[in-house]
Amino acid sequence: MEPITDVLLMQQLSEGDDLALNEIMSRWRDRIAVFLLRMVGNHATAMDLTQETFVRLYTSRHRYKPTAAFSTYLFHIAANLARSHIRWQGRHPTVPLEDDEGAAVMVIEPEDSQPSPDAAAELREKAALVQTAIAALPADQREALLLFAVEDMSHADIAKTLGCSAKSVEVRIYRARQALKEALSRQSG
C-alpha cells in the first residue's frame, strides 16, 4: 500500500476529516519548528509559531490548491508568521539574553556520537558563531538561505514560498553566504 501523500491528506482535511491534520503535523512539525527556530532565534517563540502554522493550515484548508509542492505552501505560511513576528518584535523590543561580549546567542547543540569534551566545546562554540551570524542576516536573506540549505528547496520553490523571482532568491542566497563568510572570518581572525 502506497503512503498517503500530503496533497491527499489536505483533500481529506478539507472534506472534514480533521484527523488528517494529525498526520500532516507528525510529518512536518519538526522541520517547521527547526526552520522557525532559526528564523526567530527563540525556542518558545518557534514552538508557538509552529503551532500557529498548523492552525493557519487548518483554517485555510478549503483554499488549498495543489499547484506547487505541499512543502512550499506550508513553509510559505511559516515564513509569513516568522516575518510578522520579527516585524512585531521590531516595534516591541525586549532585552535579549546576551553572552559575555553582549551578542545575542542562539545555541543549537550539535548531534554527534559522544565527541571528546574539548571537541564538543569547540563544536558548540562554532555552532553558536554560525547561529549568531545567521541570526544577524536580514530576514529575506536568512529565509532564503535556510529554505535552500536546511530544507533543501529549489530556487523555484523558494521563490514561490517567498513570493519573489528565482533570480531574487539566487541573489539573496549569494548575499547571505557572503555576509556569513565575512562575519565568520571576523570571528576567527
Half-sphere exposure (CA, 13 Å, Cβ side) for 76?
Answer: 18
Instruction: Say which amino acid occupies 166.
Output: A
Residue for cell digits 553566504? 177
CA 24 to chain CA centroid, Å, is: 17
Domains and CATH numbers, the chain: 1-94 (1.10.1740.10)
Residue for cell digits 516585524? 87
Condensed to tens digits (0 to 9), the pLDDT of residues 54-101 reads: 999 999 988 888 887 899 999 999 999 999 998 888 787 765 555 556
- H or E segment at 162? helix 155-162
Q: Would the pTM count as exceeding 0.85? A: no
pLDDT, tens digit only, all 189 positions of the chain: 667 899 999 999 999 998 999 999 999 999 999 999 999 988 999 999 999 999 999 999 888 888 878 999 999 999 999 999 988 887 877 655 555 565 555 555 444 456 667 777 777 888 888 888 888 899 899 999 999 988 888 999 999 988 999 999 999 999 999 998 888 888 766
* Among candidate residues 96, 129, 97, 137, the one with its CA nearest the CA of residue 110: 129
